[in-house]
Chain A
Amino acid sequence: MNSSNNSSIFSEKLKTVIEKELTRYETKRSAILPICHAIQDECGWVQEKHIDALEKEYSLNRIQVKEVLTFYKAYKQSEPKKFEIEFCDNIVCCMMGAKDAMAKIEELIEKQGVNSEFGLKGVPCLGVCDQAPAMLVNKDRHHKITNENVEKVLSRYSSTI
């Protein structure tokens, strides 16, 4: 494989980030997490081809990269939908109505026929229990989500489809 710069599968912007991260820490290995974040931010998720390229172009060990990608739950294991809803289903959010709100979201997604655009899953505590129930839609954090107000919150996203 030609590993010259112009054949890279990474964009110029991403290459700049990767190269910066590789020298930012004491060891190259420390850059694996930040680089995976950067790839995911731009490409949606880190795919096999990215892991291949990281090994070929930047000598990052593929086993080490794969271990990181599967250990940490921030990394998506498949192509994400346009809007990924991560709803906290931990103690306080549960107590304050998370399950109902999640059921409502499922119902709304179904009703509006936006299954292909919205993903929903429960995640551990998001660290905003005073604003429970809380959820993330991609990187936006929303607080005090109930089955009454959830439709309005989601309309912000569904209206952009």
Chain B
Amino acid sequence: MSETINFKIDGQSVSVPKGTTVMQAAYQMKIKIPHFCWHPGLSVAGVCRFCLVKVEGRPKLEIACNLQASEGMEILTDTPEVKEAHKWALEFHLVNHPLDCPICDQAGECGLQNYYMEVGKYQSQMERPKVLKPKALDVGGDLVLDTERCILCSRCVRFEKEVTKSEALGIFDRGDHAIIGTYPGKKIEHKYTTNLVDICPVGAFTSKDFRFKQRVWFLKDKQSVCPGCSTGCSIDLFAKEQTGTYYRIKPREGESNGYWMCDTGRGMYRHLNIETRQRFHYVSKNGQKIDIDQKESLNQLASKIKEVGPEHVSLLVSAQYTNEEYEAFFDFFVGKLGVKKVYQWREPTEKLNDFDGILLRGDRNSNTHGLMATLKKYGVGNQKIGNEFDIAVSSAAKVVIALVPEIPATFPSLQSNLQTLVSLNFVSFWTVNSEIEKIKGAKHVVPVKGFSEKKGSFTNHFGKLGHLTSPFVSVIEGINCVASTTRKLSEYF
């Protein structure tokens, strides 16, 4: 058991393990100490000199980020001296900043702006010409770099060194001509570039994907879990609620991901937008597609199942749905109806055990482990992770209920698999995305909710639960998740 240190920040008692800095303690306690260069996921640089605090009994102000808490220490963060220091620290940061907020994507979530509201001098002292530096540089990945906006906090440089170990960024020259950049002509090539946008406390790094698309204050963000692979990074999902348009994903501090997420995961909002969503139930009769309402749709499916009998029904299940959905689904089909044939539907080209050493895993399904656990519980299917698509197809069940993979981007063979399934006797496609629309002749299609629209949980690679707690309202009217759809279906039995 490590030694505990008791000290105070602004009179508030704090207990932390020995070795904790004042900044770390304040961060845990949600006490705000202004800072730019400190980041909980990176080493301490101590260069922005913003986090100055008063240590009772010591003459000079000290930076909280490099100040180890010691027993009985009393830290003050809002004395007049500290406030004055903070004002000046901010003022120095603004000396050479272009103040181009009206055209900057960071506006609304910019450290400089936010702190200016809190501690600013409201009267800039700097009246001389500023240092000019290169702007709008494409430095690779999702990144656009404006070196004039940069405040040289070195977070990005440390990220490159410490997290991706790529050392693709440096700070060249010195003094107020110091400039951040890649090696001339080289680009950042790893799959974690957008983290640089997140950790950049100003608008020096902006995202090509998000650039100029939306003012951040029009967006609502909700806590979610990235469905892009089995790591299950904690995320915040940003959407404009009125139109149901999703704009971006950012990592949220979490057990499985720390502070980061990969660029691949950043794209996991795209399939949620209306253009690529399955919106209507339909059936095909004599090659003709007929839109029907949910009641009719489920009624027809129930009749079909009753007609062939559960022994001629099989379930083809992808690993991209929640534990709660699997539970309801198997409870009905296996538990109540007694369906025996259950097959895993996985990407045939997947490299299950791949791992990039940071976050991204070869298992591109959000809930492989949840599915396996449910299969085990109901004693059906193969107990080993593996694609059984071909077996499912050749088993020639009269009715197949297919839980289609939610995210086409994680499932390269989706189109060809769907093509194969459409040619079978009768497959009911339960799907989030509208990939099935590209193929004629699907016998039965049921739209279901995407991960952003439902509550529930995924079990990640480590067996930990990631919770979907705050769903956005779906813009698709009357849509249900797999669990509710199953319950509604059960009403016809």
Contact = CB atoms under 8 A, between A and B. Distances in A.
A148 interface: no
Interface stretch (A5-13, A60-68, A87-95): A60-68
Nearest to B172: A70
B408 interface: no
Contacts of A67: 170-172
B360 to A, nearest CB: 24
A66 B168 CA distance: 12
B167 interface: yes
A71 interface: yes
B173 A70 contact: yes
A63 B182 CA distance: 8
B144 interface: no
Interface string B168-186: 1111111000000011101
Interface string B138-182: 000000000000000000000000000001111111100000001
A61 B172 CA distance: 14
A66 B173 CA distance: 9
Query: Main secondary structure on chain A at its contact with chain B?
Result: helix
Interface in B186-236: 186
A48 to B, nearest CB: 8
The residue in B170, B172, B182 that gathers the most chain A C-beta atoms within 10 A of its C-beta is: B170
A115 B281 CA distance: 81
Contact of B168 (A48, A63, A71): A63
Q: Which of A61, A63, A66 has the most CB of B within 10 A?
A: A63
Interface string A49-74: 00000000000011110110011000
Nearest to B168: A63
A124 B412 CA distance: 62
A120 B186 CA distance: 33
B184 to A, nearest CB: 8
Contacts of B184: 48, 66
B173 A63 contact: no
B176 to A, nearest CB: 14
B174 A63 contact: no
A64 B183 CA distance: 10
Contacts of A64: 167, 170
Contacts of B169: 63
Contact of A62 (B171, B173, B174, B183): B183
Contacts of B174: 70-71
A131 B401 CA distance: 94
B158 to A, nearest CB: 13
A66 B183 CA distance: 8
A91 to B, nearest CB: 19
Contacts of A66: 170, 172, 183-184
Contacts of B171: 67
A67 B168 CA distance: 12
Interface in B110-134: none
A63 B187 CA distance: 12
A2 B313 CA distance: 63
Contacts of B186: 62
A123 to B, nearest CB: 15
Nearest to A61: B167
Contacts of A63: 167-170, 182-183
A83 to B, nearest CB: 25
B389 to A, nearest CB: 46
A83 B26 CA distance: 58
Contacts of B182: 63
B275 to A, nearest CB: 41
B183 A71 contact: no
Interface in B229-287: none
A154 to B, nearest CB: 31
A66 B307 CA distance: 74
B330 to A, nearest CB: 53
Contacts of A70: 172-174
A61 B186 CA distance: 13
B131 to A, nearest CB: 15
Interface string A70-85: 1100000000000000
B141 to A, nearest CB: 17
Contacts of B172: 66-67, 70-71
Nearest to B157: A63
Nearest to A51: B183
Contacts of B173: 70-71
A46 to B, nearest CB: 14
A64 B166 CA distance: 12
Interface string B26-56: 0000000000000000000000000000000
A63 B184 CA distance: 9
A70 B174 CA distance: 8
B152 to A, nearest CB: 13
18 contacts: A48-B184, A62-B183, A62-B186, A63-B167, A63-B169, A63-B170, A63-B183, A64-B167, A64-B170, A66-B170, A66-B172, A66-B184, A67-B170, A67-B171, A70-B172, A70-B174, A71-B172, A71-B174
Interface of B: 167-174, 182-184, 186
Interface of A: 48, 61-64, 66-67, 70-71
Given A63-B183, A71-B174, 19 more contacts: A48-B184, A61-B167, A62-B183, A62-B186, A63-B167, A63-B168, A63-B169, A63-B170, A63-B182, A64-B167, A66-B170, A66-B172, A66-B183, A66-B184, A67-B170, A67-B172, A70-B172, A70-B173, A71-B172
> 3 tightest CB-CB pairs across the interface, nearest first?
A63-B170, A70-B172, A70-B173
